[in-house]
Chains A and B, each alone.
Chain A
Amino acid sequence: MHLPIPAFIVTLIVYGSLLGVSLGVIVLLRMFWKDWKKGELW
């Protein structure tokens, strides 16, 4: 049985993942900055 996943969902998944990974960089760097300022890196 064939039920194609709509094109817009595939596009949403792909672009959403790229956005998610980009946000990941920002989140990690922000957390690093906060920990570093407080001297709580390790």
Chain B
Amino acid sequence: MSEADANPILNPTIGWVLLLLFGAAWIGLGIYWGRRAKSFDGFMLAGRNVGMALGSATAMATWVTSNTVMLAPVFALEKGVWGMLAYSTASFGLLLFAPLSARIRQLIPKGYTSGDFMRLRYGKLAWVLFLLITVVYSLAWLVSMGTAGGKLLQTLSGIPYVNGMSMILFVCVVYTLFGGLYAVIGTDFIQSIIILIGVVLVGRLVLLKTDMAEVYQSMERHQPSLINALMPVALLSLFNNMFFGFGEVFHNNVWWSRAYAMRKDVAPKAFFVSGLLWFPIPIAAGFIALSASALGINVIDPNTVGPLVASSVLGKSGAILVFVVVFCSLASSIDSLLAATSDLLVEDVGRKMLGVGGSEDQLRTFSKLVICGLGMLTWILCAREMNLLEILFLSGPLVASAIWPVLGGLYWEKASSAGAVLAMITGSVVGLVAYYKLGWYTASLISAAVSMVVMLVFASFQRQAFDWETISKASN
């Protein structure tokens, strides 16, 4: 138990009050907006008519996870200025998904999931492999957020880890269950506004207690590597994180379901705006860790450096602010993942693979059961209290191996099924070996590089060009 855990900043009662207050608000709003979901299409894709404001906010808020708020300061603490920028490069995934979303809507106007595309473009084997990668990644993402949430509540308010983590998961499962994507997108807008205001407030208040000149001098004296422009590990992590971000966004159904949920003309613009809005957030959230040394704060557990600095400098009000921001970040991502992953399991595994059919009501019930099951599985894995960075980056090489199969599949008629399958297998395996043998900061880079080479080699042997019409015909 760290010092912060032993002496929490907030009284557990305040923690519980905040948790119950916001939990009740999200559930209430989820039920209210969920009334719009009259059909299965409405429940899964919010009626396919989401506008610019809600579209941009939901893409941005989903990408602002508890990992952004908790790990951006860890990156800054361990890798300095480049570390903060490294985390921000994850926004490039959203920016580049903008043209992809237009292409997705052009190829499969009435699609449901990212799995739909892989099945129609590459066939069954690539589809199954892709589903395996994306489900493993989505679970890793969910678990990393549940774990972060539990740890944060314990650090800030002394609420026992399991109780806090269980409460967060319970709230998200309940409102996603009632409102589907309508509830997710509606709450995402409010959560994104709270997150942005909270991040600016914490940053500004920290800068009122110390200034950047003081922070810089302290780093220069005690940790010069943090301001080293030539820190090799930090530079590698910058590119690694960028490719990890590409892989995460390009393959995951969280983004594909939003591309289908937004109006056709809105999707590319909304993803581009969300990328621009997201870029400064990890820097604004992360830089406070750089001031730890200047402020004389002894960081025992790097995973909680953000909340520790905020609460040490700002006292109870800072702790409350961080508490609210992280709770919103957690909710905005957990709800999206629950909804998008359950869509994938219902549509791809249930309907297309196992042939589970039936009326709209039956499908909706099936979808709700899957959401509950996912919530339970996440809870069980979170209860093991795994390491944040380990969980997040272990899935990096897996998703990075899917970058080229997805890109090639969308734009390149010579991209082949065999190439996509082997690209994902070899990219994942070599990336995982690199993760353990070289370090996490190389895994996604190596996985993406290997996957690209395999795709190119197989494409060079491909004589027949893919007929794009087969996708739209099959999907109709």
Contacts and interface: CB of A to CB of B under 8 A. Distances in A.
Interface of A: 1-5, 7, 10-11, 13-22, 24-25, 27-29, 31-32, 34-36, 40-42
B224 A27 contact: no
B228 A4 contact: yes
Nearest to A14: B287
A2 B230 contact: yes
B57 A28 contact: yes
A25 B287 contact: no
Interface centre among A14, A25, A31, A35 (most CB of B within 10 A): A14
A15 to B, nearest CB: 8
A32 B287 contact: no
Interface string B67-109: 0000000000000010011000000000000000000000000
Interface stretch (B193-201, B429-437, B449-457): B193-201
A28 B56 contact: yes
B230 A3 contact: yes
10 contacts: A2-B228, A4-B220, A10-B81, A24-B60, A25-B196, A28-B57, A31-B53, A36-B53, A41-B54, A42-B185
B55 to A, nearest CB: 9
Contacts, number: 115
B52 A10 contact: no
B326 to A, nearest CB: 16
A32 B53 contact: yes
B86 to A, nearest CB: 13
B367 to A, nearest CB: 20
Tell me what chain A mostly uses at the interface: helix, strand, loop, or mixed: helix
A26 to B, nearest CB: 10
Contacts of A17: 203, 280-281, 283-284, 287
B224 A2 contact: yes
B304 interface: no
B51 interface: yes
Interface residues of B, number: 45
A19 B197 CA distance: 11
Given A4-B220, A28-B193, A42 B200 contact: no
Given A13-B81, A22-B200, A42-B49, A27 B230 contact: no
Interface of B: 36, 46-47, 49-54, 56-57, 60, 81, 84-85, 182, 185, 189, 192-193, 196-197, 199-200, 203-204, 207, 212-213, 216, 220, 224-225, 227-230, 273, 277, 279-281, 283-284, 287
Which 9 pairs between the two chains have the least Cβ-Cβ distance?
A: A20-B280, A17-B283, A17-B280, A31-B53, A32-B53, A24-B277, A17-B284, A35-B51, A11-B212
B280 A27 contact: no
Contacts of B203: 14, 17-18, 21
Given A4-B224, A4-B229, A32-B53, A27 B277 contact: yes
Given A5-B81, A13-B81, A27-B277, A18 B228 contact: no
Contacts of B204: 18
B284 A42 contact: no
A32 B189 contact: yes
A27 B287 contact: no
Nearest to A32: B53
A31 B52 contact: yes
B43 to A, nearest CB: 14
A5 B185 CA distance: 40
A15 B203 CA distance: 9
A10 B53 contact: no
Given A2-B224, A21-B196, A14 B283 contact: yes
A32 to B, nearest CB: 4
B199 A21 contact: yes
Given A2-B228, A34-B52, A35-B54, 13 more contacts: A2-B230, A4-B228, A5-B81, A5-B228, A13-B81, A14-B212, A18-B280, A20-B280, A22-B196, A24-B60, A29-B193, A40-B52, A42-B47
